[in-house]
Structures are given as C-alpha cells and as structure tokens.
Structure 1
C-alpha cells in the first residue's frame, strides 16, 4: 500500500472514531486504533485536524454541537474522566444552569494545565454511578443531583429532580428518596 493510501486510511479510521466524540481525537485513541501518534501531527499539518490542546485534536469539518464543550472538557482531563456535579445537570438542561466552569471528575490526579473553564474534582465514583449521556462519560443524573447540593440552590434542585423524573433520567423507584434528600437540605 502506498504512503498516500496509508495516510488516507489512517485519516478515515481516526475520523470514524472522532464522529462519536464530537470531532475530537486523542493520541490514546490513535494508539488503540494502531495509528502512530505522528500521523495525528501530520494530518494536522496538512490541515485535516485542528490542534485543540495538548493531546487533543479536532476534525474541523465535523459540525459543532451544544455538547462539544462537555466532551472537550472530559477528553482534556485525561483517561477515566467524566462529567460530574452541575455539569451533568447543565448537559441535560436541568436546574436552569449555565455554569462558568465545567466540573469534571477523575480518580487520578490531573497534572496537565487546563483552562479556567474546566474544574477537575478528584473523586472515586462507583461503577453504578457512571454512565454515558450523548456519548459523554458522566455520573448519573441521580448522583449529579446529590453532588450538586453544595453548588446549586435547593429549590432549583428539587425542580430539577422532578423534571429528571418526568424525563426518565432518574428511575421512578429512586425519585422519592432523592426528593427526600433534597428536602432534608432546606
């Protein structure tokens, strides 16, 4: 196979994964696909990728959505990172939130330099409290509602809890206990 065909194949394989990640791709993704990390830099030099941050690239031709900033925050924060607290609620449009910072949880210490718009909280979350929403690793809405009590007014959280129940984001059997937990914080 010629070098040009191999480069096209690498780009295609990387793009397929990036489509599921709002256009983003990391060297870790490339490695898992058997694509040498140097290929990311080569594709970026040719204009096929934008270098977003250290270890993060984005295919510019993939349309931007309202979820991009959430995915970018998680990917910039490293492996095993996930949205947490009020960021999960903002992702779902709950509690009338538009936080200044996207809170990302990670079981690891994050040493890389991040913009002020991303706050990493070191936390170990039980596997049952982790999920994917819109393809973005996140804590469950139930866990996010409980964790957000320190950041969000309780009245907003009560309304958000009810709305999450109506939308099926919190299982019906957990709703009463969750509302009780909110009410006890008033």
Structure 2
C-alpha cells in the first residue's frame, strides 16, 4: 500500500467524526505531513476550504457542515454562539442568515459573509453538542435577550427543558430573567 492511499484513509477516518472536515494541525498530529494535503487536494477527494482547512469529499454532507466550517474558520477556541446554538436544536423557530461564532481573541482572518464573529471576554461556559464547540443553551438563550422577544425565548427555554438541554435550575433562572 502506498503512503498516498494510507494518508487518504487516515484523513477520511478523521473526517468522519468532524462532518467531513480536517485541519492541517489535526492531520500532522495523526502523522500526515502537511505537504501531503495540497497534493491530495490536487488529485481529488480532498477539497481545500480555507487556510489550514480541508473537507474530505467522500464524507456525505450534513446540515451541520457550514457550522463546522464557521467554527474552524474562526480559529482555535471558537464556538457557536447565541442564535446559532438555538438554531442547532431548532429552538425558537430561528433561521439566522449568518452563523454566530464567538472567540476569545482578535481574529485577523477574512471570513465569508455567512459568519458573524463576536469577541467575548472572560471565560464563558462552553460545551460540545453534536461534535460542535458551543455555548451552553442556557447562556445562548440569555445572549439572545434584547434581539429576540422574551415570549419567544421562554417558549424556546421550555422546549429546551423538555428535550433535556436545560437543567431545572437553569430553566427557573431563565424564566425569571426573561420575565423581568
């Protein structure tokens, strides 16, 4: 077996857990030399998305592909934020035009129009939902306050609680905060 096939297989296995995406850093950590990625992309089966980001074309697309791409493009430590977290779970019947991603540091990368970057300070609570770095649902609901009407956010909180995305204490806190 040639190294080229082996590298392609390694990248595909990695990409299966990441909605088809792989970064140069992850590839290097898995033993695939960085110089191999552009070669594999030129031969097909691997698509260059942005600097240091590739998509394995044999991995079937999903509805979360653009979310993963937005997080990866924003850089290390980025996560889904506010309306994008609610949209991930179809809460509040939202369909935001742009994917909101939060970062802790300044990002100089030019991002496509479908990504809206928010710089946050401090250490926000984050988690992983469906393999995506995300703000907690409770915090996302509070982050949307002022942009989405409180009754809509209350309905979204009730739905999130019913789906097990909120603890009872978080739901009670949200209910008080959104009613005031």
Give TM class, smaller chain: over 0.9
Please state whether the residue corresponding to 1:62 is helix, strand or coil.
coil
Given the two structures, how large is their TM-score scaled by the length of structure 2? 0.95
- Residue 154 of structure 2 is aligned to residue 170 of structure 1: no
Q: Give a deviation string over 1:6-43, Cα, whole Å, max 9, x none.
A: 12221111111111110011111112212211111111
Aligned counterpart in structure 2 of residue 80 of structure 1, from 77, 81, 85: 77
What is the 5 A alignment of 1:20-99?
A: 20-99=17-96
Please state whether the residue corresponding to 2:118 is helix, strand or coil.
strand
Please state whether the residue corresponding to 1:150 is helix, strand or coil.
coil
Given the two structures, how large is their TM-score scaled by the length of structure 1? 0.92
Q: Give a deviation string over 1:56-76, Cα, whole Å, max 9, x none.
A: 111111111111111111011
Distance in 2 separating the partners of 1:108 and 1:34: 29
Alignment match, 1:8: 5
CA contact (8 A) 2:11 2:56 kept: no
CA contact (8 A) 1:106 1:121 kept: yes
Aligned counterpart in structure 2 of residue 103 of structure 1, from 94, 100, 103: 100
Distance in 2 separating the partners of 1:151 and 1:102: 15
Q: Which runs of 5+ in 2 are unaligned?
A: none
1:55 offset after TM fit, Å?
2.1
Q: Which runs of 5+ in 1 are unaligned?
A: none
Distance in 2 separating the partners of 1:150 and 1:136: 25
- RMSD value over aligned CA atoms? 1.3
Question: 4+ runs of 1 displaced by more than 4 Å?
Answer: none
How has the CA–CA distance of structure 1 residues 26 and 96 changed in structure 2, closer, same or farther, with 3 Å as cutoff? same
